[in-house]
Amino acid sequence: MKASQAASQVTSIDSRDLDLETHLTDDHHQAVKLWLRLLSCTNKIENAVRRRLRESFDTSLARFDLMAQLERCPEGLKMNELSQRMMVTGSNVTGLTDQLESKGLVVRETAAGDRRTFLVRLTPSGRKLFSAMAREHETWVIELLGGLGTIEKDRIYRLLGSLKEHVSLVERAPKVGRRS
């Protein structure tokens, strides 16, 4: 292979690799580069999980997330609790619940003492399907993060914990001198 051919192969970018970091330069602040790297990694992993859920289970990440919330609370959750936990609107939870209920994966019951409130629970078949999806999901995440060793993963986990704590502190601090 000629040197010019090798150079063109190295510099050609597969469109699947274009992401939030693609146009960064050395002039960008290190914090901006890090933020975009975090977003790029998150997007790539999330997109892979979305695709695999769709291909393997004909479901969406949003439905998987709703079922995960219900799996953690076998007694069921109120619709507004699901909305808060998933950080989505009530109408989104209603739509997802309708879809899962039509497939027999969840049941919606009137809450005791309040006929206006619904409690959502996984059905036995919903619990069985979620268990299978969760096992696969764990395998996928392990595979996707497999390029890092245990020590690297531990270190990144600790560093991201520190970052999370710092961001929480900054967000709770008085907004003196900050633009809103």
Per residue in 13-28, pLDDT (tens digit) is: 455 565 666 665 666 6
Give, in degrees to the nearest 5, the angle at Cα 141 between 15 and 17. Answer: 10
Q: What is the pLDDT of residues 28-48, one digit of tens each?
A: 688 888 998 999 999 999 999
CB 61 within 8 A of CB 46: yes
Residue 144 above 70 pLDDT? yes
Give the pLDDT score at 116.
82
Percent of the chain exceeding pLDDT 70 equals 82
Give the pLDDT score at 33.
86
Can you give the residue ranges of every domain in the chain?
A: 30-168
Residue range 30-168 in CATH 2.20.25.90: no
Give the pLDDT score at 66.
97
Query: How many whole angstroms separate alpha carbon 67 and alpha carbon 127?
Result: 8
